[in-house]
Amino acid sequence: MHRQQLPLDGVKVVDLTNVLAGPYCSYQLMLFGAEVVKVELPGTGDLARRLGPDPELNRERMGASFLAQNAGKKSVELDLKSPAGRAAFETMLAEADVLLENFRAGVMARLGYGWERLRELNPGLVYCAISGFGQSGPMSGAPAYDQIIQGLSGMMSVTGTPDTAPLRVGFPICDTVGGLMAGLAICAALAGRQRGGRGCFLDLSMLEASISAMGWTVSNYLVSGVEPEPMGDQNATAAPSGTFETADGPLNIAANQQAQFETLCRLVGRPDLAADPRFAEREARKNHRQALNQELNKALRARTALEWEELLSREGVPAARILTVPQALALDQVRHRGFLTEVPLPGSGERPVTVTGNGVVIDGVALRPRGPAPLLGQHNAEFEAVR
């Protein structure tokens, strides 16, 4: 049976990245069909090989973080500071379409592989450098992890309530956003190369990508001069829009449109709220948010969160329970679309490992990794000719 043809079939990616932002980017490229070869330091490899909650997997250099972001890739050990390693790397680059790295700004140039040199080696190369702050500017040389970017972007200042902010978002969102933006930029560059034949240098700042992803929290300030504040689980742009109380737990409701609000009032048995001058119009509801939420909470306590989710959703009012990660992964909807894939644990094959896709279905088929994450240097022999 032939494998489904994918948009990036035939694209070769040389991946020098570590831990998350870069590997997340190249994982997306792999799902879309690209061949991704991880170039790892001999004997050490990606730092993520030792990151995860399972000490045994960490000792085997198969940490959960690595397994999650590197399925379907190949691994080759090269020392870019040795003559043999450099020669092999340059041979690989000559055949590559994309070079991806997430070193601190300037590291590649110090290794002798600045953009001018890379362009000499391969004029069609798309070179993407992911860094915390970009390759130039007063902060370009500073170290940056996800939490550092979360703080500097303003993201933490609007996360939580006025009493608890600033808070870190509960997952590495800046790494993820940086990886996604890098993947988008690479695909755009590959499309552009089809017209002109030449590659380009993509200088991606995680700080700027993260600020751009913050939506109205940034645009409200830039356009209207309104500085965002932490509002907990409430949405500053609309009311009622946030988390509410039910008989057995919290429920998210986003009745952002007038018709949705009126339907909500009817379904909870409080049609009078839609006629109350404090709540009748959008801006009035925002100004009297707390009073409106109190009235709705009283009515919503009559049913369970699941009952309200089903009733409100059926009538066109966005509403859903707040789930744990295990509950979210167990949703019939997630399983129906083939989002999760079991692959063998590298090296043993006895223990299956479940990894995620990316939410994209092409011609009815979900994108899945073609195999497990590689052992360190697993594909050395395949590239022996360049070593």
Structure tokens at 320: 């859903």
- 3-state helix vs strand vs coil in the chain, percent to 5: 40, 15, 45
Structure tokens at 329: 């992964």
User: What is the residue-averaged pLDDT of the chain?
Assistant: 95
Per residue in 96-150, pLDDT (tens digit) is 999 999 999 999 999 999 999 999 999 999 999 999 999 999 999 999 999 999 9
Q: CA 95, 377, 114 angle in degrees (round to 5)?
A: 45
The pLDDT-based confidence of 196 (bands split at 50, 70, 90) is confident
Average pLDDT over residues 237-261: 96
Report pLDDT for 2: 62
Report pLDDT for 259: 97
Report pLDDT for 348: 67
349 has pLDDT over 90:
no
Catalytic residue IDs = 175
Query: What pTM, to 2 d.p., does this model score?
Result: 0.93
186 has pLDDT over 80:
yes
**Is the omega angle on the peptide bond into residue 166 within 30 degrees of 0, that is, cis?**
yes
Q: Where are the domains of the chain?
A: 12-213+338-386, 241-245+250-321
- Least Cα distance to 356 among 97, 171, 208, 127 occurs for 171
Per residue in 55-85, pLDDT (tens digit) is 999 999 999 999 999 999 999 999 999 999 9
Architecture of the CATH domain 12-213+338-386: 3-Layer(aba) Sandwich (3.40)
Report pLDDT for 351: 82
The pLDDT-based confidence of 385 (bands split at 50, 70, 90) is low
Q: CA 258, 261, 266 angle in degrees (round to 5)?
A: 130
Average pLDDT over residues 16-43: 97
Report pLDDT for 1: 44
Average pLDDT over residues 173-179: 98
Query: What dotted CATH number matches 241-245+250-321?
Result: 3.30.1540.10
The pLDDT-based confidence of 292 (bands split at 50, 70, 90) is very high
Residues 6+ apart with CB under 8 A from 7: 32, 33, 362
Mapped onto helix, strand or coil, the DSSP state of residue 147 is: helix
